[in-house]
Structure 1
Amino acid sequence: MLTDRRILLVVSGSIAAYKVLDLARLLRKASATVHAVLTAGGARFVTREALAGITGQRVHDDLWAAEAEIGHIRLARLPDLVVVAPASADLLAKMAHGLADDLASTILLATRAPVLVAPAMNPAMWEHPATRANMAALVARGVRVVGPGLGAMAEPESGPGRLAEPPEILAAVEAALAPPGESPHAPGATLSPAGRPLAGRHALVTSGPTHEPIDPVRYIANRSSGKQGHAIAGALAALGARVTLVSGPVAVPDPPGVTVVRVETAREMLAACEAALPADIAVMAAAVADWRVAREAAQKLKKQPGAAAPSLEMALNPDILATLSRHAQRPGLVVGFAAETERVVQHATEKRLRKGCDWIVANDVSGGVMGGERNAVHIVTAEGVEDWPELPKAAVAERLALRIAQTLA
């Protein structure tokens, strides 16, 4: 709950701005006081009257309004958290470069409150080097990020840049405003998510599937989307870690502020992981193919009329988790993942002992977890098992990052 918390909601120009009406409703339902600032672009998509009706507060939109009762400095000092949703490419650029030419950008430059941004823009704009550099600069300064997601756009077009859904933004708000020593998703945690407790630490994260070629056309793979692993990399970076993300082939956007190494096969992933050492933390979230074809065909295997299907001789892939767990440069904390379809905790407990890692994050993937937006995990350690509730994958990532920071502290 957000009782007695003051949220300043900055709405910038994006067709996704209609979603902030639902976000404002959720924030009010969680007992927060919501004040809204509407940019000129944002006013093209939602009205002052709609925002005022839901928040119950006057909406601010003019830096120079003669009748303004609250100046920009007072607005900057007012909130416990500033939430920019949607955060357009233009406003993110202003934030990164310290520009202040309207009410929203002036408040963002003057505020001392923590800031959470929810980017929303065309995929080409999100992936542009300028936007990536702006996001990296903001993350380095401690700005929190939720999303963007992958999906259909208004153009019509599809790709990374879709505004995070209101419940996901709400979860990020609750995490950002958790009292010191407590996280809303991790009872007993001793660190505040608003700090940077992992500053000076190097985290190695793997994510996505591996593709093991059969021939130049076909491959063996797992169903991983990379959403959970990429979210973990972003959450660790938000807590101050220097993050190396070794990613198999995925369609999700790179988390801001991390170094991404792209690979295809398990052998390439292992080589990239070893090259990234030393590291303080290793989170092996990738769904690595256990087997590969022993001899990849140089040409496409052709189907012949009347002929039997080709026989594929399989070979074991290297065990990346076990290798890092026993490596001469073993990270101080090694976290593995176990995607199971039955006896989840039992199999994960056995896997932790067999691999030699410190923790296993286990989940049941018999449903729609792979490629989905939510996850329910169990954390298996030498001390026992923690059963976490189903959460958005971003919230799972943040909770895990806080748990890691607590342990390393």
Structure 2
Amino acid sequence: MTTDVGEYGVYHGAEVHLHITGSIGAALVPWWIHWFRHINQDVVVNASISRGASRFVTKDAIAGLCNGHVWEDEWDDAKSEDWRQGRTGDSDCIIVFPASLDSVMRLAQGRSDSPALMMMQVTNLPIILCEAIPVTNSVIEHWRNILHERPNVTTAPPVVGIKATDRDSQETGFNLPGAIAMANELIDASREGDGVR
């Protein structure tokens, strides 16, 4: 069942995986999961929580809102072995929400020192990054460009948000509705056989 909200926030897949990383925006993720599940009541939501994210949100809070597998991004907590094959249940895509600067850089460098990173390094599933990057420079842009060479990786469209530090306005990729729209495009394209991008 999908709540009638037009197309806004409606997810075209049957299952999604949220990887929550260490940004202050992680504190807002429970509200966004609640919003998503209200609109998409039959969609299974899986989640993994990085060590950095656990400074801002707890596994218990996320598990209480998700209806799928929830695990900390630690080797001893990732009970399922799906991540070894780049899978997370039957998820149609992976949304990194928020995607902290550290997580984006680690993914771009090919690091696989946690179950979620390994999953994202070897998966063919679409990966949508909701970047929560405070500033940018040539080094950050270099690694982001390398990451975007992967045909299954894209970013959520930026929106104007408020910085936690000084309350000024700034563009941010912390945009779950935009990530859902991107996921829908990628899922629909893969179903039509057009590839991931």
Q: For the superposition of Structure 1 and Structure 2, which TM-score range results when normalised by the shorter chain?
A: 0.7 to 0.9
SS in 2 for 1:69: coil
- Aligned positions of 1:5-404 closer than 5 A: 5-28=14-37, 29-30=39-40, 31-65=42-76, 68-71=78-81, 72-73=83-84, 76=87, 78=89, 79-122=91-134, 124=135, 127-142=136-151, 143-156=153-166, 158=168, 160-178=170-188, 180=190, 192=194, 194-195=196-197
| Separation in structure 2 between the aligned mates of residue 160 and residue 104 of structure 1, nearest angstrom | 28
Asked if structure 1 preserves the Cα contact closer than 8 Å seen for 2:46 and 2:88, the reply is no
**Taking structure 1 as reference, are residues 115 and 180 closer, same or farther at Cα in structure 2, changes over 3 Å only?**
closer
Q: TM-score, normalised by structure 1?
A: 0.41
Q: Which runs of 5+ in 1 are unaligned?
A: 183-190, 196-409
SS in 1 for 2:166: coil
How far off its partner does 1:17 sit?
A: 1.4
| Separation in structure 2 between the aligned mates of residue 180 and residue 112 of structure 1, nearest angstrom | 10
| Separation in structure 2 between the aligned mates of residue 106 and residue 147 of structure 1, nearest angstrom | 25
- Residues 130-151 of structure 1: per-residue CA shift (max 9 Å, x gap): 2111221122212111133334
Q: TM-score, normalised by structure 2?
A: 0.79
- Residues 41-66 of structure 1: per-residue CA shift (max 9 Å, x gap): 1111111111111112341114321x
User: What is aligned with 1:391?
Assistant: none
| Separation in structure 2 between the aligned mates of residue 3 and residue 56 of structure 1, nearest angstrom | 17
| Separation in structure 1 between the aligned mates of residue 17 and residue 87 of structure 2, nearest angstrom | 9
Higher relative contact order, structure no. (Cα contacts within 8 Å, ≥ 6 residues apart): 2
Asked if structure 2 preserves the Cα contact closer than 8 Å seen for 1:10 and 1:36, the reply is yes
Give 1 or 2 for the bigger CA radius of gyration.
Answer: 1
Give the RMSD, CA atoms, in angstroms: 2.6
Asked if structure 2 preserves the Cα contact closer than 8 Å seen for 1:77 and 1:111, the reply is no
The amino acid across from 1:5 in the alignment is A
- Residues 170-220 of structure 1: per-residue CA shift (max 9 Å, x gap): 2222222225577xxxxxxxx85833xxxxxxxxxxxxxxxxxxxxxxxxx
**Taking structure 1 as reference, are residues 193 and 62 closer, same or farther at Cα in structure 2, changes over 3 Å only?**
closer
| Separation in structure 2 between the aligned mates of residue 24 and residue 177 of structure 1, nearest angstrom | 20
